[in-house]
């Protein structure tokens, strides 16, 4: 029996090697490409386990994939083999308000989970820009976070237990229903951010949080980018804890205006978006404090108390600003390289200066925005992707950004992961501890079938 027949025995018509389909699964949102030999769409844990047993027996690579919205090639099959499309395991299996948790399959889209939780007055705080399109499995596997991480933390703070199928097809649980446990190694944290290199997540038990009573948004515009960075550091060091704190530079503001003209944004060198949440009085109090800080640091225009519809528009635009840069020039397309560095908060203004310096040195426009409140900055470059020289230059710019972040004590990825695109920096960033990671990988995935050639392995 050939491999396709074996796969069809498990999932029926949900397995294929049709060349057009393989092409559709040969990329994510990054520039990395690689053709699989097969694609299979499992619908339950048993099917995943059966497929992994087949792959283990044949020694063939498995690449788990959520919605394919990753920015690093994490879901791109670089060693051929089977792509496991997990996005059809998309059920919310249980909402347990009394335990403050939910049980979900990995294909659930975060925004859909929050729609389901809203009537109960709860939400799942990790809020990536891709909340409308990524999957929770992908978010967990990449240790994602998003705009509210400054207050609510990353996905790491919300996973209680994962059901994982190991490379040999055996099934484990990494945690439990308990909100805390001091029992043994924390395997849950090991699998979060493992990018499919250790096993396949088939369900996740997640903590949820009560929805805040009130939310307010403050927009502050600056004529100098540095001052915006200083305003953030000053706000946070004064004990103000916003639920989101985002920065957009001049180009990002332009892009947002182009994407949604109804937003009526002001042209500036930089804009900060603060969101405060909690009870109404606290939200009001801290909004005023933020306005004071921003005014004292040179904000030339401040807008607050936007209504709920306007708030939603601001966030909807902000979520997609990274992609929308492609709108500025019909011949240029956004490419994700060097787009997710994070540095210690104190070094944010230095990093912003470094990015401008790199932009000047390489003669390439770099749009900067991101979760400045937790030191996570995104950069965006658009190039003519049919021009090899522009690609070459882009890679140099990406490399310079990564190295600048590392020099400032930062990391090459705050929330998008390593995948293939940043594997080369693992050794530099982690030194000896990268050897421990390699040893863990070898211990769990003896045949190296789980998403090979990723995270620098």
Partner 1 sequence: MISHHIRDIIKCVRCGRCRAPCPSYEVLEWESTGARGRMLIALSLATGLFPTEHMLTGLNTCTTCDLCKELCPSGANPRWITVLARRDLALKGHRSEAQETLYTRVRDYGNSLGETLPRRNWYKGEVLLKGDYVYFVGCLSSYRLPEIAASNYEILGRFDVALLLDERCCGSPLLKMGLDATELIEHNLSEIEKTGASTVITGCPGCMEALKENYHLKVLHSSEFFAGIIGELDLKPIELKVSYHDPCHLGRGSGIYEAPRKVLKNICSQIEMAGHKEKARCCGGGGGVRASYREISIAMAKRRLQDSPEKAEYIATTCPMCKRNLTDAGGKVLDISEIVGMALKA
**Contact code string over 232-261 relative to partner 1, x by CB under 8 A:** ---------------------------x--
Binding-site member from 7, 10, 29, 272 for partner 1 (CB under 8 A)? 29
Residue 333 engages partner 1 in binding (rule: CB under 8 A)? yes
Find out whether 321 and 369 touch, Cβ atoms under 8 Å.
yes
Residue 51 engages partner 1 in binding (rule: CB under 8 A)? no
C-beta atoms surrounding 409 within 10 Å: 10
Alpha carbon distance 415, 140 (integer Å): 10
Residue 227 engages partner 1 in binding (rule: CB under 8 A)? no
Alpha carbon distance 162, 73 (integer Å): 23
Quote the least distance from Cβ 112 to partner 1, whole Å. Answer: 8
Residue 25 engages partner 1 in binding (rule: CB under 8 A)? yes
Alpha carbon distance 97, 241 (integer Å): 26
Binding-site member from 49, 56, 69, 314 for partner 1 (CB under 8 A)? 69
Q: Which is nearer to partner 1, 71 or 372 (CB)?
A: 71
Q: Which is nearer to partner 1, 69 or 203 (CB)?
A: 69
Residue 341 engages partner 1 in binding (rule: CB under 8 A)? no
Residue 320 engages partner 1 in binding (rule: CB under 8 A)? yes
Q: Which is nearer to partner 1, 87 or 202 (CB)?
A: 87
Residue 35 engages partner 1 in binding (rule: CB under 8 A)? no
Quote the least distance from Cβ 334 to partner 1, whole Å. Answer: 5
Residue 338 engages partner 1 in binding (rule: CB under 8 A)? no
Alpha carbon distance 85, 42 (integer Å): 7
Alpha carbon distance 394, 382 (integer Å): 9
Q: Which is nearer to partner 1, 40 or 233 (CB)?
A: 40
Find out whether 61 and 451 touch, Cβ atoms under 8 Å.
yes
Binding-site member from 7, 49, 54, 67 for partner 1 (CB under 8 A)? 67
Residue 291 DSSP SS3: helix
Residues contacting partner 1: total by CB under 8 A: 39
Which residue stretch of 131-139, 289-297, 367-375, 414-422 sits at the interface with partner 1 (rule: CB under 8 A)? Answer: 131-139
Cβ partners under 8 Å of residue 12, min gap 6: none
Structure tokens at 43: 């619908």
Residue 23 engages partner 1 in binding (rule: CB under 8 A)? yes
DSSP-assigned beta bridge partners for residue 411: 342
Alpha carbon distance 88, 203 (integer Å): 12
Phi, psi of 445 (to 5 degrees): -120, 75
Find out whether 185 and 172 touch, Cβ atoms under 8 Å.
no
Residues 73-92 that bind partner 1 (CB under 8 A): 85, 88
Half-sphere exposure of 66 (CA within 13 A, CB side): 31
Residue 385 engages partner 1 in binding (rule: CB under 8 A)? yes
Q: Which is nearer to partner 1, 319 or 371 (CB)?
A: 319
Cβ partners under 8 Å of residue 63, min gap 6: 36, 75, 76, 77, 78, 81, 82, 83, 84, 196, 451
Quote the least distance from Cβ 340 to partner 1, whole Å. Answer: 15
Quote the least distance from Cβ 136 to partner 1, whole Å. Answer: 13
Residue 224 engages partner 1 in binding (rule: CB under 8 A)? no
Which residue stretch of 53-61, 65-73, 223-231, 343-351 sits at the interface with partner 1 (rule: CB under 8 A)? Answer: 65-73
Find out whether 401 and 342 touch, Cβ atoms under 8 Å.
no
DSSP-assigned beta bridge partners for residue 164: 172, 201
Q: Which is nearer to partner 1, 28 or 195 (CB)?
A: 28
Binding-site member from 309, 386, 388, 389 for partner 1 (CB under 8 A)? 386
Residue 309 engages partner 1 in binding (rule: CB under 8 A)? no
Alpha carbon distance 367, 249 (integer Å): 7
Strands 62-65 and 82-85: parallel
Residue 362 engages partner 1 in binding (rule: CB under 8 A)? no
Alpha carbon distance 329, 211 (integer Å): 40
Binding-site member from 101, 130, 145, 413 for partner 1 (CB under 8 A)? 130
Alpha carbon distance 181, 82 (integer Å): 36
Cβ partners under 8 Å of residue 361, min gap 6: 400
Which residue stretch of 14-22, 94-102, 245-253, 409-417 sits at the interface with partner 1 (rule: CB under 8 A)? Answer: 14-22
Binding-site member from 61, 134, 294, 400 for partner 1 (CB under 8 A)? 134
Alpha carbon distance 382, 396 (integer Å): 14
Q: Which is nearer to partner 1, 181 or 331 (CB)?
A: 331
Q: Which is nearer to partner 1, 9 or 88 (CB)?
A: 88
Residues 406-445 that bind partner 1 (CB under 8 A): none
Residue 337 DSSP SS3: coil
Give the interface with partner 1 as residue ranges (CB under 8 A). 14, 16, 18-21, 23-29, 39, 41, 67-69, 85, 88, 109, 130, 132-134, 259, 320-321, 323-324, 326-327, 330-331, 333-335, 385-386
């Amino acid at each position: 029996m050939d491999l396709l027949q074996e796969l069809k025995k498990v999932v029926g018509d949900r397995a294929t090697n049709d060349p057009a389909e393989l092409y559709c699964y040969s990329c994510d949102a990054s520039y990395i490409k690689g053709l699989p030999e097969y694609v299979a769409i499992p619908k339950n844990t048993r099917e995943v386990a059966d497929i992994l047993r087949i792959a283990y027996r044949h020694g063939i690579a498995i690449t788990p994939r959520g919605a394919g919205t990753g920015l690093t090639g994490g879901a791109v099959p670089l060693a051929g083999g089977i792509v496991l499309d997990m996005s059809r395991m998309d059920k919310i299996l249980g909402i347990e308000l009394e335990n403050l948790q939910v049980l979900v399959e990995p294909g659930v889209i975060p925004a859909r989970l929050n729609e389901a939780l809203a009537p109960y007055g709860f939400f799942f705080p990790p809020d990536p820009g891709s909340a409308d399109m990524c999957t929770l499995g992908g978010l967990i596997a990449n240790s994602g976070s998003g705009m509210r991480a400054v207050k609510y933390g990353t996905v790491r703070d919300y996973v209680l237990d994962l059901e994982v199928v190991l490379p040999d097809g055996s099934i484990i649980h990494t945690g439990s229903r308990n909100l805390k446990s001091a029992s043994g190694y924390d395997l849950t944290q090991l699998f979060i951010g493992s990018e499919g290199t250790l096993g396949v997540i088939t369900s996740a038990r997640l903590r949820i949080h009560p929805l805040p009573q009130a939310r307010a948004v403050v927009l502050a515009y600056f004529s100098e980018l540095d001052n915006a960075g200083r305003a953030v550091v000053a706000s946070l060091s004064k004990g103000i804890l916003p639920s989101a704190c985002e920065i957009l530079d001049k180009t990002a503001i332009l892009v947002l205006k182009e994407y949604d003209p109804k937003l009526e944004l002001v042209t500036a060198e930089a804009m900060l978006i603060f969101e405060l949440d909690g009870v109404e009085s606290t939200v009001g109090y801290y909004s005023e404090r933020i306005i004071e800080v921003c005014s004292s640091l040179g904000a030339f225009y401040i807008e607050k108390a936007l209504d709920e519809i306007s708030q939603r528009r601001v966030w909807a635009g902000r979520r997609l600003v990274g992609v929308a840069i492609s709108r500025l020039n019909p011949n240029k397309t956004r490419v994700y390289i060097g787009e997710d560095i994070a540095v210690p908060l104190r070094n944010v203004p230095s990093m912003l200066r470094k990015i401008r310096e790199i932009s000047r040195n390489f003669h390439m426009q770099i749009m900067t925005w991101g979760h400045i409140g937790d030191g996570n900055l995104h950069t965006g470059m658009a190039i003519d992707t049919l021009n090899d020289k522009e690609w070459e230059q882009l890679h140099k710019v990406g490399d310079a950004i990564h190295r600048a972040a590392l020099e400032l004590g930062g990391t090459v990825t705050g929330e998008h992961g390593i995948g293939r695109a940043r594997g080369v920096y693992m050794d530099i960033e982690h030194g000896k501890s990268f050897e421990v990671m390699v040893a863990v990988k070898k211990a769990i995935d003896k045949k190296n079938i789980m998403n090979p050639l990723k995270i620098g392995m």
